[in-house]
Amino acid sequence: MRFDILTIFPKMMYGYLREGVIGREVTKGTIEVYFHDIRKYSTDKHKKVDHTPFGGGAGMVMTPQPIYDCIQAVKKKNKGPVVYMSPKGKVLTHSMAQRLGRYDGMILLCGRYEGIDQRVLDMCVDMEISIGKYVLSGGELPAMVVLDTVTRLLPDALGNENSAEEDSFSEKLNGKKEYPHYTKPREFMGISVPEVLLNGNHAEIDAWRRKQLK
Protein backbone atom coordinates (compact mmCIF):
# COMPACT_ATOMS: atom_id res chain seq x y z
CA MET A 1 0.00 0.00 0.00
CA ARG A 2 1.32 3.43 -0.91
CA PHE A 3 1.06 6.50 1.31
CA ASP A 4 1.98 9.94 -0.02
CA ILE A 5 2.11 12.62 2.66
CA LEU A 6 1.97 16.27 1.60
CA THR A 7 3.37 18.75 4.12
CA ILE A 8 5.60 21.78 4.54
CA PHE A 9 7.53 19.94 7.28
CA PRO A 10 8.51 16.54 5.80
CA LYS A 11 11.53 16.05 8.10
CA MET A 12 9.23 16.12 11.11
CA MET A 13 8.03 12.57 10.41
CA TYR A 14 11.05 10.67 9.10
CA GLY A 15 11.92 9.05 12.44
CA TYR A 16 8.55 7.37 12.79
CA LEU A 17 9.23 5.26 9.70
CA ARG A 18 12.26 3.55 11.26
CA GLU A 19 10.67 1.89 14.29
CA GLY A 20 7.96 -0.55 15.34
CA VAL A 21 5.23 -1.87 13.07
CA ILE A 22 5.64 0.96 10.56
CA GLY A 23 9.39 0.49 10.26
CA ARG A 24 9.01 -3.27 9.83
CA GLU A 25 6.35 -2.94 7.12
CA VAL A 26 8.43 -0.35 5.25
CA THR A 27 11.38 -2.76 5.32
CA LYS A 28 9.20 -5.66 4.17
CA GLY A 29 7.78 -3.56 1.36
CA THR A 30 4.19 -4.00 2.56
CA ILE A 31 3.85 -0.23 2.55
CA GLU A 32 5.61 2.58 0.74
CA VAL A 33 5.69 6.02 2.31
CA TYR A 34 6.71 9.16 0.45
CA PHE A 35 6.88 12.71 1.77
CA HIS A 36 6.33 15.71 -0.49
CA ASP A 37 7.34 19.24 0.47
CA ILE A 38 4.47 21.48 -0.64
CA ARG A 39 6.78 24.49 -0.53
CA LYS A 40 8.82 23.12 -3.45
CA TYR A 41 5.76 23.50 -5.70
CA SER A 42 5.26 27.19 -4.96
CA THR A 43 5.69 29.52 -7.93
CA ASP A 44 6.36 32.44 -5.58
CA LYS A 45 9.98 33.60 -5.86
CA HIS A 46 10.34 33.24 -2.09
CA LYS A 47 8.54 29.87 -2.06
CA LYS A 48 5.79 31.39 0.05
CA VAL A 49 2.83 29.05 0.73
CA ASP A 50 0.56 31.24 2.88
CA HIS A 51 -1.18 34.60 2.80
CA THR A 52 -3.59 36.72 4.80
CA PRO A 53 -7.28 35.68 4.58
CA PHE A 54 -9.77 37.61 2.47
CA GLY A 55 -12.36 39.21 4.73
CA GLY A 56 -9.85 39.66 7.52
CA GLY A 57 -9.23 37.53 10.54
CA ALA A 58 -6.37 36.18 12.59
CA GLY A 59 -3.56 34.07 11.20
CA MET A 60 -2.62 33.00 7.70
CA VAL A 61 -4.18 30.64 5.15
CA MET A 62 -2.29 28.20 2.93
CA THR A 63 -2.54 29.30 -0.70
CA PRO A 64 -4.09 26.94 -3.26
CA GLN A 65 -1.48 26.91 -6.05
CA PRO A 66 1.36 24.96 -4.35
CA ILE A 67 -1.05 22.43 -2.88
CA TYR A 68 -2.94 21.94 -6.13
CA ASP A 69 0.24 21.41 -8.13
CA CYS A 70 1.67 19.05 -5.52
CA ILE A 71 -1.49 16.94 -5.50
CA GLN A 72 -1.60 16.75 -9.28
CA ALA A 73 2.02 15.60 -9.42
CA VAL A 74 1.50 12.93 -6.77
CA LYS A 75 -1.72 11.64 -8.35
CA LYS A 76 0.31 10.50 -11.36
CA LYS A 77 1.72 7.73 -9.13
CA ASN A 78 -0.98 7.29 -6.48
CA LYS A 79 -4.59 6.82 -7.60
CA GLY A 80 -5.95 6.56 -4.07
CA PRO A 81 -8.19 9.11 -2.34
CA VAL A 82 -6.89 12.50 -1.28
CA VAL A 83 -7.47 12.81 2.47
CA TYR A 84 -7.23 16.16 4.23
CA MET A 85 -6.40 15.98 7.93
CA SER A 86 -8.87 18.44 9.42
CA PRO A 87 -10.52 19.04 12.82
CA LYS A 88 -13.75 19.49 10.84
CA GLY A 89 -13.55 16.04 9.26
CA LYS A 90 -15.18 12.77 10.26
CA VAL A 91 -13.56 11.35 13.36
CA LEU A 92 -11.30 8.38 12.62
CA THR A 93 -12.66 5.05 13.83
CA HIS A 94 -11.57 1.43 13.67
CA SER A 95 -14.11 0.65 10.96
CA MET A 96 -13.00 3.68 8.94
CA ALA A 97 -9.39 2.48 9.14
CA GLN A 98 -10.51 -0.91 7.85
CA ARG A 99 -12.21 0.73 4.88
CA LEU A 100 -9.16 2.86 4.11
CA GLY A 101 -7.00 -0.25 4.16
CA ARG A 102 -8.88 -1.60 1.13
CA TYR A 103 -7.35 1.04 -1.12
CA ASP A 104 -4.05 0.47 -2.88
CA GLY A 105 -2.91 3.84 -1.64
CA MET A 106 -3.90 7.24 -0.32
CA ILE A 107 -2.66 10.81 -0.34
CA LEU A 108 -2.62 12.51 3.05
CA LEU A 109 -2.71 16.30 2.97
CA CYS A 110 -1.41 18.13 6.05
CA GLY A 111 -2.56 21.69 6.62
CA ARG A 112 -0.97 24.41 8.73
CA TYR A 113 -1.78 27.90 10.01
CA GLU A 114 -5.52 28.67 9.97
CA GLY A 115 -6.15 26.09 7.26
CA ILE A 116 -6.16 25.67 3.50
CA ASP A 117 -7.88 27.76 0.82
CA GLN A 118 -11.32 26.20 0.37
CA ARG A 119 -11.07 26.14 -3.42
CA VAL A 120 -8.30 23.55 -3.49
CA LEU A 121 -10.22 21.45 -0.95
CA ASP A 122 -13.33 21.57 -3.16
CA MET A 123 -11.37 20.62 -6.28
CA CYS A 124 -8.99 17.98 -4.97
CA VAL A 125 -9.99 16.46 -1.62
CA ASP A 126 -12.08 13.28 -1.46
CA MET A 127 -12.53 13.13 2.31
CA GLU A 128 -11.63 15.00 5.48
CA ILE A 129 -10.57 13.08 8.58
CA SER A 130 -10.14 14.24 12.17
CA ILE A 131 -8.46 12.32 14.99
CA GLY A 132 -10.45 14.14 17.64
CA LYS A 133 -12.35 17.26 18.56
CA TYR A 134 -9.37 19.42 19.35
CA VAL A 135 -6.91 21.54 17.38
CA LEU A 136 -3.26 20.73 16.65
CA SER A 137 -0.60 22.91 15.06
CA GLY A 138 -0.85 20.97 11.81
CA GLY A 139 -1.94 17.78 10.09
CA GLU A 140 1.35 15.91 10.42
CA LEU A 141 0.55 14.05 13.64
CA PRO A 142 -2.96 13.10 12.44
CA ALA A 143 -1.46 11.83 9.17
CA MET A 144 0.89 9.56 11.10
CA VAL A 145 -2.05 8.31 13.17
CA VAL A 146 -3.88 7.35 9.97
CA LEU A 147 -0.72 5.71 8.61
CA ASP A 148 -0.29 3.70 11.81
CA THR A 149 -3.87 2.56 12.32
CA VAL A 150 -4.32 1.55 8.67
CA THR A 151 -0.96 -0.21 8.42
CA ARG A 152 -1.42 -2.36 11.51
CA LEU A 153 -4.65 -3.74 10.03
CA LEU A 154 -2.92 -4.94 6.86
CA PRO A 155 -2.39 -8.72 6.53
CA ASP A 156 0.49 -10.07 8.69
CA ALA A 157 1.50 -6.59 9.88
CA LEU A 158 1.21 -7.59 13.56
CA GLY A 159 2.73 -11.04 13.16
CA ASN A 160 -0.36 -12.72 14.61
CA GLU A 161 -3.57 -12.84 12.60
CA ASN A 162 -5.66 -12.59 15.79
CA SER A 163 -3.97 -9.46 17.17
CA ALA A 164 -5.91 -6.92 15.10
CA GLU A 165 -9.17 -8.85 15.60
CA GLU A 166 -8.79 -8.51 19.35
CA ASP A 167 -7.91 -4.81 19.36
CA SER A 168 -10.13 -2.39 21.20
CA PHE A 169 -13.08 -1.29 19.02
CA SER A 170 -12.73 -4.26 16.65
CA GLU A 171 -15.78 -6.11 15.36
CA LYS A 172 -14.85 -9.15 17.43
CA LEU A 173 -15.17 -7.05 20.59
CA ASN A 174 -18.35 -5.38 19.31
CA GLY A 175 -16.66 -1.98 19.35
CA LYS A 176 -15.87 -2.22 23.08
CA LYS A 177 -12.58 -1.64 24.83
CA GLU A 178 -10.19 -4.53 25.47
CA TYR A 179 -10.23 -6.87 28.43
CA PRO A 180 -7.37 -6.66 31.02
CA HIS A 181 -4.04 -8.24 30.07
CA TYR A 182 -1.64 -10.10 32.39
CA THR A 183 1.82 -11.60 31.95
CA LYS A 184 4.65 -12.97 34.13
CA PRO A 185 5.30 -12.90 37.03
CA ARG A 186 2.22 -14.72 38.36
CA GLU A 187 2.23 -12.46 41.42
CA PHE A 188 3.39 -8.84 41.59
CA MET A 189 3.29 -6.57 44.65
CA GLY A 190 0.97 -9.06 46.32
CA ILE A 191 -1.52 -9.05 43.43
CA SER A 192 -2.08 -12.38 41.65
CA VAL A 193 -3.18 -13.07 38.11
CA PRO A 194 -6.87 -14.19 38.03
CA GLU A 195 -6.97 -17.97 38.43
CA VAL A 196 -9.24 -18.45 35.41
CA LEU A 197 -6.36 -17.35 33.14
CA LEU A 198 -4.15 -20.10 34.53
CA ASN A 199 -6.38 -23.16 34.21
CA GLY A 200 -5.94 -23.73 30.48
CA ASN A 201 -9.69 -23.84 29.83
CA HIS A 202 -10.05 -21.60 26.79
CA ALA A 203 -13.84 -21.53 26.91
CA GLU A 204 -13.77 -20.25 30.50
CA ILE A 205 -11.01 -17.78 29.65
CA ASP A 206 -12.98 -16.42 26.71
CA ALA A 207 -16.12 -16.11 28.84
CA TRP A 208 -14.17 -14.27 31.58
CA ARG A 209 -12.62 -11.88 29.08
CA ARG A 210 -15.99 -11.02 27.57
CA LYS A 211 -17.35 -10.20 31.02
CA GLN A 212 -14.52 -7.69 31.47
CA LEU A 213 -15.37 -5.69 28.36
CA LYS A 214 -16.69 -2.22 29.03
How far apart, in whole angstroms, are the C-alpha atoms of residue 90 and residue 126? Answer: 12
Residue pair 150/157 in contact (Cβ under 8 Å)? The answer is no
State whether the Cα torsion 57-62-64-65 is positive or negative: positive
Is 30 strand, coil or helix? coil
- Which residue, among 62, 197, 41, has the nearest Cα to 207 in the 3D structure? 197
| Catalytic residue numbers, as ranges | 87, 114, 152, 167
Burial (CB count within 10 angstroms: exposed 0-12, middle 13-18, buried 19+), residue 159: exposed
